[in-house]
Structure 1
Amino acid sequence: MIRRSLPSPSALSDAIRQMAARHHRRIVAGVGTVLLGTGVTAFGIAPLAPDVGDLPVRQVVEPLSAATQGLLPGSLQAHQDGFVLYRNDTVRRDDNAQSLLQRLGVVDSQAQAFLRGDSLARQLFTGRPGKLVAIETSDRHELQRLTARWLSGGERGFERLVIERTPDGLQSRIEKGELTASSRLASGEIQSSLFASTDAIGLPDPVAVQLAEMFSAHIDFRRDLRRGDRFSLVYEVLEADGEALRSGRILSAEFINAGRAYHSVWFEAPGHKGGYYDFEGQSSLREYLSSPLEFTRVSSGYGMRFHPVHGDRRAHLGVDYAAPTGTPVRTVGDGVVSFSGRQGGYGNVVFVQHRRGHVTVYAHLSRIDVRQGQRLTQGQLVGAVGCTGTCTGPHLHFEFRDNGRHLDPLVALRNSESVPLAQNLRPQFEAVAQAQRQMLDAAATVVRASAE
């Protein structure tokens, strides 16, 4: 066995000092290299900031001073003990006080009783459905305010029902207002049919019908449409307190069918009956509408046919339009009611006398809405489709007579004359046409941009 003695601590310390003195530069360089490498590594893996998920979360609640509370808006000051909920809906056909308030999230037996018992509040559930309703409730779902709007009898008026909670309980009142008109732009492309395309862009049905009628003299919408045809239009919306209650008339429209563009713009001047014209001032409004029904399907045409009731072949001197009972029937042109009542196989029938010896006949009506001697304007309702007189099912029998001679109604309506524009109105028309042309261009541009 070999034994070695270790140097004493003092001797070892002296040896290290001597070596450091002899190799000073090498030792300093080595230590620097080690420290630099460690620093770079630490810099590469150390996060720049602490993880947000690891930070402590603390909730601080402090009461507002009296001076600060005085700066709150009035509505917030009124409801410092809670908050207000806002909801809106429309009145449905089978609604009552309970179903309407339940759908609106109101839990308030007093409000239910008020809507059932108050004479003004009950108007919510009478008349036509679709009334717009907006409510405000407390955070306990108690009714604070209810506002409902609907069209009144006038063309431009509406009624507003207001129910409010007061210190004395719920109170109601009826207010009257005037509708305001605003313009909306729309555009679409034909994929299958016109009405499928208008439905796809959310165009109201009455506006879609107007669009079809405006260009019916140039385009047969059952046969002439092509995939890729385009249309743009500007139309009125009548609003109550910023809420749209119904659509108005089309102000201008463009329809491109098989590469050919057709235009129409509404123009009306004081003392002059309004009408539709193209941008050159030629009238696009015909003397007669293309049909006495908005949505039509001809079930029996003009000429010889097998009579479904009498069982033999005989001349059919008009056109039959199949439609459900109650479908509105309108006069195709301006005129005066020459007969209104029941007449033999026609059942309930209306005769309208037009200018130049023309007469139109509307037969088998379920009801009559006009009286003899009444003056009518184009598109005004005369009654509703029915099955009175000699018929086998609900439909409208329509005739067109020229000085007593029966004509094919489809041909007569299609070939009706246009209404000319007076020369003295040309400057006013040009200004309107230019403005509407710009809006139509904007309508087409907006839709193309959104599609892209």
Structure 2
Amino acid sequence: MKHGLIQAVETCLVFARDLTERHPKRITAVVAALLVGGTGATFAVANLAPDAADLPVRTVVESIPLQTSESNVTLTAFPAIPLYRSEVTRSTDTADSLLKRLGVFDAAAAAFLRSNSQVQQVLLGRAGRNVTAEVDSQQSLLGLTARWSPLDDGTFKRLSIRKNGIGFTAQLETLPLVASTRLGGGTIQTSLFAATDDARLPDAIGVQLAEIFSGDIDFHRALRKGDRFSVVYETLEGDGEPLRSGRVLSAEFVNAGKAHQAMWFREPTASGAAPKGGYYTLEGDSLRRAFLASPMEFSRVSSGFKMRFHPILQKWRAHLGVDYAAATGTPVRTVADGVVDFAGVQNGFGNVVMVKHRNNQTTVYAHLSRIGVKKGQSVNQGQNIGAVGSTGWATGPHLHFEFRVNGVHHDPLTIARQSESVPVTASAKPLFDRAAAEVRAQLTAAAQVSLASAE
């Protein structure tokens, strides 16, 4: 038994020596842990299994047959993706030229456009239509849609052309426009229209800005470099595409350091009565004065209310009106509500219209190329009454404009700025004040958009 015990101890020693030789670092870690932990301490013993790096490695190569037969392979066919392209029609467009600009090369589609009566009447040769074409990967036409808004009646036209199994069909519809609100602004460098172009604002919005502030700002002579404006306006859309400009909802114009603000507001009326809207300051004063500052939207004052050397009579005499230089045919409008007192030819005035207003006030529009009203006809402020010309004693096309009170001539520019305005009624003032608070926030946002665009 003693011999067996000795043999077992020897076997253990041999095993321990063998482990020490094969794993010296691990054995050292175990001993260190015993020394630190002491008697009865709990400790973790390192795994004494053989190191994986010392295990033998065997590479196994096995051939796997690849299934290549068509019966075992499924190919997914991706559907063709239609392509879209948009254009604006031109007055010179033919079926072929329009389709070519749209990237369509389809003889059958071109033949349909040439032969369809609706396409001929409302699309080809008509400028300003928004057109979108849908084509396939072979550039053949799948569908074509044209949209436009010919009248300011809140609707738009949509012409839809679709490809079917036997050819193409066309459908013309009248649909309602949808109004959306946009912000914009700019800084004057040379002119108002140049600034609105730089700000990518429609020309119609620039015209409205001039109209709104015409009683406070002389856009012919008073604009300064560095003047700035902010505007909130409507865009009228058809199927999500902008088709025409709507109304300016609010605006701010800073001229020579002075800020002028305006907002559109409709006073509530009695049931059944049509509400009338207008532009007001944010304090509630109407911007619609009794007289417009100018009988034309845009023009240049060539001769003011003063003494001058007469170009035809060749002598100094008082110029009893204001001359506006403009091209022949430029529309002329009445500056206030009234009744036509004279419409015809009169001495040096040539073709002339005289409009009588309240309080014995009369305005005169002379040298017209044509007359658009008759004696006794009632006219509203801003109504077209004729066109610029050079009839009578005139050296070139221009409008001679006079303002008379009880037959006495007055400076028209002074009269326009002194004419009164009407405030919001007391009953509508609370509603107006709430709307004005919203407008102030909108104009602040519009100014920030303008500043960000400039930077």
| Residues 90 and 126 in structure 2, CA contact (< 8 A), matched pair in contact too | no
State how many pairs are aligned: 382
* Superposition CA RMSD, Å: 3.3
- What is aligned with 2:210? 212
> How far has the Cα of 1:379 moved from its partner?
2.6
CA distance in 2, matches of 1:97, 1:395: 43
| Residues 124 and 148 in structure 1, CA contact (< 8 A), matched pair in contact too | no
Tell me if 1:402 matches 2:405: yes
Given the superposition, is the C-alpha separation of residues 97 and 301 from structure 1 closer, same or farther in structure 2, using an over 3 Å criterion?
A: farther
- Secondary structure of 1:400's aligned partner: strand
Amino acid at match of 1:387: S
- Does 278-287 or 349-358 show the bigger shift? 349-358
Deviations 1:97-117 (A, max 9, x none): 332222222223343343344
- What is aligned with 2:388? 385
Amino acid at match of 1:273: K
- What is aligned with 1:419? 422
In structure 2, which of residues 295, 300, 305 is the aligned counterpart of residue 302 of structure 1?
305
CA distance in 2, matches of 1:377, 1:89: 39
Tell me if 1:363 matches 2:366: yes
Given the superposition, is the C-alpha separation of residues 154 and 305 from structure 1 closer, same or farther in structure 2, using an over 3 Å criterion?
A: same
Matching of residues 59-98 of structure 1 within 5 Å: 63-64=75-76, 80=79, 82-98=80-96
Structure 1's unaligned 5+ residue stretches are 1-24, 30-60, 70-79
Amino acid at match of 2:148: W
Given the superposition, is the C-alpha separation of residues 390 and 423 from structure 1 closer, same or farther in structure 2, using an over 3 Å criterion?
A: same
| Residues 91 and 124 in structure 1, CA contact (< 8 A), matched pair in contact too | no
Tell me if 1:153 matches 2:156: no
CA distance in 1, matches of 2:417, 2:294: 9
| Residues 302 and 316 in structure 1, CA contact (< 8 A), matched pair in contact too | yes
Given the superposition, is the C-alpha separation of residues 301 and 244 from structure 1 closer, same or farther in structure 2, using an over 3 Å criterion?
A: same
Given the superposition, is the C-alpha separation of residues 246 and 399 from structure 1 closer, same or farther in structure 2, using an over 3 Å criterion?
A: farther
| Residues 351 and 370 in structure 2, CA contact (< 8 A), matched pair in contact too | yes
In structure 2, which of residues 100, 103, 111 is the aligned counterpart of residue 102 of structure 1?
100
Deviations 1:179-227 (A, max 9, x none): 2222111122344544433322112222223223333433444665555
Given the superposition, is the C-alpha separation of residues 321 and 128 from structure 1 closer, same or farther in structure 2, using an over 3 Å criterion?
A: farther
- Secondary structure of 2:428's aligned partner: helix
Deviations 1:305-333 (A, max 9, x none): 44444555555433222222333333323
Amino acid at match of 2:84: Y
> How far has the Cα of 1:439 moved from its partner?
0.9
Amino acid at match of 1:147: T
Given the superposition, is the C-alpha separation of residues 188 and 374 from structure 1 closer, same or farther in structure 2, using an over 3 Å criterion?
A: same
> How far has the Cα of 1:423 moved from its partner?
1.4
| Residues 308 and 316 in structure 2, CA contact (< 8 A), matched pair in contact too | yes
Deviations 1:213-242 (A, max 9, x none): 333433444665555443222112222222
| Residues 91 and 124 in structure 2, CA contact (< 8 A), matched pair in contact too | no
- What is aligned with 1:196? 194
Given the superposition, is the C-alpha separation of residues 252 and 313 from structure 1 closer, same or farther in structure 2, using an over 3 Å criterion?
A: same
| Residues 90 and 125 in structure 2, CA contact (< 8 A), matched pair in contact too | no
> How far has the Cα of 1:436 moved from its partner?
1.1
| Residues 96 and 125 in structure 1, CA contact (< 8 A), matched pair in contact too | no
| Residues 94 and 125 in structure 2, CA contact (< 8 A), matched pair in contact too | no
- What is aligned with 1:143? 141
Given the superposition, is the C-alpha separation of residues 64 and 126 from structure 1 closer, same or farther in structure 2, using an over 3 Å criterion?
A: closer
Amino acid at match of 2:88: T
> How far has the Cα of 1:252 moved from its partner?
1.2
Given the superposition, is the C-alpha separation of residues 435 and 173 from structure 1 closer, same or farther in structure 2, using an over 3 Å criterion?
A: same
Given the superposition, is the C-alpha separation of residues 209 and 97 from structure 1 closer, same or farther in structure 2, using an over 3 Å criterion?
A: same
- Secondary structure of 1:429's aligned partner: helix
Tell me if 1:430 matches 2:433: yes
- Secondary structure of 1:120's aligned partner: helix
CA distance in 1, matches of 2:117, 2:367: 39
> TM-score, normalized by length of structure 2?
0.73
Tell me if 1:288 matches 2:297: no
- Secondary structure of 2:359's aligned partner: helix
- Does 381-390 or 262-271 show the bigger shift? 381-390
- Secondary structure of 2:401's aligned partner: strand
Q: Radius of gyration: which is bigger? A: 2
CA distance in 2, matches of 1:213, 1:343: 31
CA distance in 1, matches of 2:251, 2:148: 29
Matched residues, percent identical?
A: 55
> How far has the Cα of 1:163 moved from its partner?
2.4
Deviations 1:391-413 (A, max 9, x none): 33322232323343332222222
In structure 2, which of residues 234, 248, 251 is the aligned counterpart of residue 250 of structure 1?
248
> How far has the Cα of 1:137 moved from its partner?
2.3
CA distance in 1, matches of 2:374, 2:116: 37
